[in-house]
Amino acid sequence: MEDASLNDLSAVMADGDLTSESITQSYLERIEQFDSAGPQVHAVLELNPDVLEVAAARDHERREGRLRGPLHGIPVLIKDNIETGDQMHTTAGSLALEGHRARGDAHLVKRLRAAGAVILGKANLSEWANFRGRRSTSGWSSLGGLTRNPHILDRTACGSSSGSAAAVAAGLCAVAIGTETDGSIICPSQTCGVVGLKPTLGLISRSGVIPIAHSQDTPGPIGRTVRDVAVLLGVMAGSDPKDSPTQARPKPRTRDYTRFLVEDGLRGARIGVARNMLGTDPRVIQIVESSLDLMRQAGAEVIDPADLPNLREFEHDELEVLHTEFKADLNHYLGSLGPTALVHSIEELIRFNEDHRNRVMPYFGQEHLLEALSKGSLSSKPYRRALTGCRRLTRKEGIDKLMARERLDAIVAASGGPAWLIDLVNGDSSNWDMESTSPAAVAGYPHITVPAGFVRGLPIGLSFFAGAWHEATLLRLAYAFEQVSQARRAPKFRGTARV
């Protein structure tokens, strides 16, 4: 069960060997064993009290020959900044939203339910999607506590979709949903040794998702295999009148991304190696080199180097954009909450956090909230100038320029370094000098990470990214690489790294 794919689970239900209810019960027992007790991964913030009833209903539909879609009867975990219109809460991990129930499902949750998914529960996350304090500890929230890396428990699961990635890696669910503004799907997925895809902005609706910044926020799928991620992406992708970028995007040629998954998908592909994104850790670089050798053997043409222009030139502008949009977007979200909500603005949220400092800020503060409060409106000149600069440097003069100049199908880099030690005193470590997430995140372009190797028991992922709407290509390349590398391993829940 803990390593079963979506195909595996669908097959055993179709054969009558297992039911959705029995599969769900198995996950609930595993959550009790490895998340609540035992190793205490703390990936799950809340379980759906109706989950067995929902699973039984999917079983009844199956017996009557009524299958909703490719996720029929499959248990799925949802990051707890995504609204569900049921008995569960939507809190972003914050004490200020404790007890908050959404009026309805987020658009992507509606699509999951329509495809037959069973919403198992809510995954823990870095509070406010890791955009509260500058010295934060990834995976920690005032409501959910600290999510740990299931491979080595004293190591970070990264953030902000820490619970989603750790739960998939630990076999606590079949697949999970995360969200990303910059790195929040890619980093936890690579750190926990699973597959994560940040799609093009506008492919999946954000309506019903607690926001950071509308120019970069996007939900995305996390799974143990590329195929599972492809299935989940196809289910969630779709137009939504409440989220204009989903209507502005080109109409998808297919909703079935699995048809692009072929074993010889690397043959003839031109892959550019962004050497300036690899950092200096020789262990990580060796994993990248071995991965490139595998791709060459699979028929890919590797363009090396293919350094990405403007790699760090937009960092200041990105923060200007994020803080300004955070103020506008979060104020709008909080202002839409009903009269029973404890906070209705960033200003009220900051005051609430100060009033409950012992529970909310025992380890780190709320500098990002304070910085956001000081910003102007979305029509301010500093914001508009920063947004224009970000898009120019990452799109036309960044990823698009490199892709066109070298005629690339994708750019590859190391997704990150080995997970750092959890440090509640100093916060997240910054001792690895690499960058993989920001260019695609700021551009709003797709990015997928696939397990590629290990450093002393800690996973290392390989990133593939490209221009807008190239999910099908990235999935094809990532799937073919996954087949030849076979690098993913189940976690062993070790307490610490072996000396």
Provide the annotated active-site residues: 79, 160, 184
Tokens of 160: 């902000």
DSSP assignment letter at 122: E
**Which one-letter amino acid corresponds to residue 316?**
H
- Classify 364 as helix, strand or coil: coil
Residue 191: strand pairing partners: none
Question: Residue 141 and residue 218: Cα distance in Å, rounded?
Answer: 20
Question: How many separate helices (H) and strands (E) can be counted in the chain?
Answer: 18, 13
Question: Residue 35 and residue 167: Cα distance in Å, rounded?
Answer: 9
Task: Sort strands 175-180 and 218-223 into parallel, antiparallel or unpaired.
Answer: antiparallel
Question: Residue 217 and residue 209: Cα distance in Å, rounded?
Answer: 9
- Contact call for residues 158 and 169 (beta carbons, < 8 A): no
By C-alpha distance, which of 22, 30, 327, 20 is closest to 150? 30
Per residue, the 3-state secondary structure of 42-85, as one string, reads CCEEEECCCHHHHHHHHHHHHHCCCCCCCCCCCEEEEECCECCC
By C-alpha distance, which of 449, 454, 446 is closest to 478? 449
Kindly give the residue spans of alpha helices, DSSP state H, lying in 361-429.
367-373, 381-391, 400-406
CB atoms within 10 A of CB 494: 16
Tokens of 28: 């609930």
Residue 118: strand pairing partners: 75
Q: How far is CA 208 from the centre of its chain?
A: 16
107's enclosing H/E stretch is helix 107-114
Question: Residue 48 and residue 97: Cα distance in Å, rounded?
Answer: 18
CA-derived radius of gyration, the chain: 21
